[in-house]
A and B are shown apart, each in its own frame.
Chain A
Amino acid sequence: MLTCAASIFGIVLLIATELVLRSQMSWHKFGLSFFYKFNIDPDTHLPVFWDPVGGTFYALPFLYGTLVTSLVALVIAVPLAIGVAIFLTEMCPKFLRGPLAFTTELLAAIPSVVYGLWAIFVLVPLLREQVNPLLVSVFSFPPLVKAFGWTGLVGANGIFGGDNYGLGFLAAGVILAVMILPIISSLTREVMNAVPNSQREAVLALGATRWEMIRMGVLRNARIGIVGSVILGLGRALGETMAVAMVIGGRPEISKSLLSLGNSMASVVANEFSEASDDLYLSALIEIGLALFIVTIIVNALARVLVWAVTRGTPARVQ
């Protein structure tokens, strides 16, 4: 029995050793600059990060892609998830609670590849034809450009500039948001439920409206746990592979625009692993995998500590 349980340590060690071993080649060649350097193309004078043919392997675009898509996902998912959690915990009539909670949990059960499939054939065309043109026109609105052009976020070179393929950072961010929503929501519900009723009564007895009671009596007490659940959602977003791989566009590019095609750490590994023709290529990809491994371990550990601090016990089977 002990060996079975200790195998968990063994697994972690195994993953770590294999990743470290196989990324040695790339690490020796590029060192830490793997994560931030780039070459300059002599013809176009543009930066070149990732060129398997020429032997250039710098991972900055993938770090960027992972960060941007995760950020977009958080911006969309966190308010919605917390809103749902508040509704289900404090406002929802009892008979609706079960079915609605079940529905949001079903969202968590859908495999990544199915989300990706739906994203390719429904979300991307929707973005390309309806949403993105709208965003582009809003962000190119002349008075807006005049007032905020200095930030570099609006206008033709802003965050909704450039070509509109439907694929890209925005599409990946949106489908990621859908995928991390259930985790954030159900954990937030758990930490909110862990707040004792005596706190709610204390606020109500002072003459508070329901929203004031939620704000002061529940959210305030649960805020550490809520932060934890957001971080857990971030952890999931960082490592999400298939759905992102299917809609992000697969180009090793860094661009301000959310409509631009790009790539993320997890999806570049998924997409290019089988094509990796030489050992250096493979080693570089594995080094990206190692970086991903370390980052997700840190983020997830942090999240678990925060959630446990509030619920003081084992969280229910969420994942």
Chain B
Amino acid sequence: MVTTRKKPNRVRSAMRTAADHLATGLAILATILVIAPLVAIFIYLVYKGTSSLNLAFFTQVPKPVGEAGGGMANAIGGSAVLLGIASLLGVPIGIGGGIYLAEFGRGTRLANAIRFTADVLNGVPSIVMGIAIYSLIVVPQHHFSAFSGGVALGVMMIPTVTRTTEEMLLMVPHSVREAALGLGVPNWRSVMSITLKTASPGVITGCMLAFARVAGETAPLIFTAFGNQFWSASLNQPIAALPLQIYVYAISPYDEWHRLAWAGALVLIVLIVFAVSLVRYVASRGILKGAS
């Protein structure tokens, strides 16, 4: 009869221990290899960006090729306009969708289908979105415009805002809703005034997350907003955008434009890191301070 009750094989034990140490070492190595490029990118960005950053960057429009100086004021302003349009479109529809999924359609197959579709839509390449909006708006209008760019970005915000709003609303405990209903408040009122209010910090951070994501998007703008070397605040004209300008300058052969690209990248990163950190901070502090 086979028995296992003998002293474990010394060699085998040593090999198992060695394998354990090796695995730990490899995991640590992997972590270092991942963190290192990130740190390298950041440091290089900060170094290159700050040396190129000056007040002119924020106040001037690009100078003609060959001339030193100039800035990306038009791109910053343009991004602001585009993001404004995008938020006007994406935030209300997204929040509305999230409210439906969390409150009224919860558990229905329709809601499940919508949720699944939203997640899948999030994965569709942004350039495909750009083509669709080009086809829908730019072609009939026969010109590029800030409006089409804003719509493209706004449509991209909708799935993200919908999902995060739903998540935040679902985190509001039942006791809060029941308290409202117990006071004789009809359902839709109770949802709006109390549940949404309780979840609002979380909902806002969800919107910020979507905002930060589309703020860095370039591809959908290439053939909607198109870019512009000059100031423009008109909705019907092509407009500059920060990421788009960075792209154009980066692939150009002019050193001066490269310098501006670095500065622009730094500004973009700072904004996005700020947004992401804020989101994390709010999330870690406990989103629902009022409900527990």
Contacts and interface: CB of A to CB of B under 8 A. Distances in A.
A235 B122 CA distance: 11
Most chain-A CB neighbours within 10 Å: which of B116, B125, B166, B261? B125
Contact of B272 (A5, A110, A120): A110
Contacts of A185: 34
Given A8-B159, A80-B30, A15 B129 contact: yes
Nearest to A116: B250
Contacts of A11: 121, 155, 158-159
B246 A113 contact: yes
A86 B27 contact: yes
Contact of A120 (B128, B217, B222, B251): B251
Contacts of B216: 110-114
A210 B20 contact: yes
A81 to B, nearest CB: 8
A296 B125 contact: yes
A3 to B, nearest CB: 8
Query: Is the interface on chain B under 10, 10 to 19, 20 to 34, or 35 or more residues?
Result: 35 or more
Interface string A235-255: 110111110001000000000
Interface string B201-232: 00000100100110111110011001000000
A86 B29 CA distance: 12
A5 B96 contact: yes
Interface in A96-142: 100, 102-107, 109-118, 120-122
A270 interface: yes
B218 A111 contact: yes
A5 B105 contact: yes
B158 A8 contact: yes
B25 to A, nearest CB: 10
B261 to A, nearest CB: 6
A107 B37 CA distance: 10
A46 interface: no
Query: Is the interface on chain A under 10, 10 to 19, 20 to 34, or 35 or more residues?
Result: 35 or more
A87 B16 contact: no
A242 to B, nearest CB: 5
B35 A103 contact: yes
Interface stretch (A18-26, A48-56, A155-163): A18-26
Given A1-B97, A19-B131, A12 B117 contact: yes
A18 to B, nearest CB: 4
Contacts of A82: 30
B167 interface: yes
Contacts, number: 260
B254 interface: no
Nearest to A108: B276
A60 interface: no
B209 to A, nearest CB: 6
A153 B33 CA distance: 27
B167 A239 contact: no
A274 B128 contact: no
B280 interface: yes
Interface string A150-189: 0000000000000000000000000000100100010000
Interface string B153-195: 0010011101110110000000000000000000000000000
Contact of B222 (A15, A117, A274): A274
Interface stretch (A27-35, A36-44, A192-200, A285-293): A285-293
A3 B93 CA distance: 9
A8 B97 CA distance: 8
Contacts of A81: 30, 34
Contacts of A91: 24, 27-28
A212 interface: yes
B207 to A, nearest CB: 12
Contact of A239 (B24, B33, B97, B125): B125
B132 A7 contact: no
A300 B212 CA distance: 22
Contacts of B16: 209, 212
A62 B251 CA distance: 20
B233 interface: no
Interface in A198-228: 209-212, 214
A33 to B, nearest CB: 22
B167 A102 contact: no
Contacts of A109: 212-213, 272-273, 276
A178 B166 CA distance: 30
Interface string B85-123: 000000011111111110111000001011111111111
A118 B262 CA distance: 9
Contacts of A106: 38, 273, 276
Contact of A5 (B17, B20, B97, B219): B97
Interface of B: 16-17, 19-20, 22-24, 26-31, 33-35, 37-38, 40-41, 44-45, 92-101, 103-105, 111, 113-129, 131-132, 134-136, 155, 158-160, 162-164, 166-167, 206, 209, 212-213, 215-219, 222-223, 226, 243, 246-247, 250-251, 258, 261-262, 265, 268-269, 272-273, 276, 280
Given A81-B30, A239-B127, A297-B120, 10 more contacts: A1-B97, A5-B100, A8-B97, A8-B158, A83-B30, A109-B272, A109-B276, A117-B246, A120-B251, A122-B40
What 5 A-B pairs have minimum CB-CB distances, sorted nearest first?
A: A111-B216, A83-B30, A239-B125, A4-B96, A300-B123
21 contacts: A2-B100, A4-B95, A4-B99, A8-B162, A9-B114, A18-B131, A19-B128, A83-B27, A109-B273, A112-B218, A116-B247, A118-B41, A121-B258, A210-B20, A210-B24, A241-B218, A269-B131, A273-B131, A303-B123, A315-B119, A317-B167
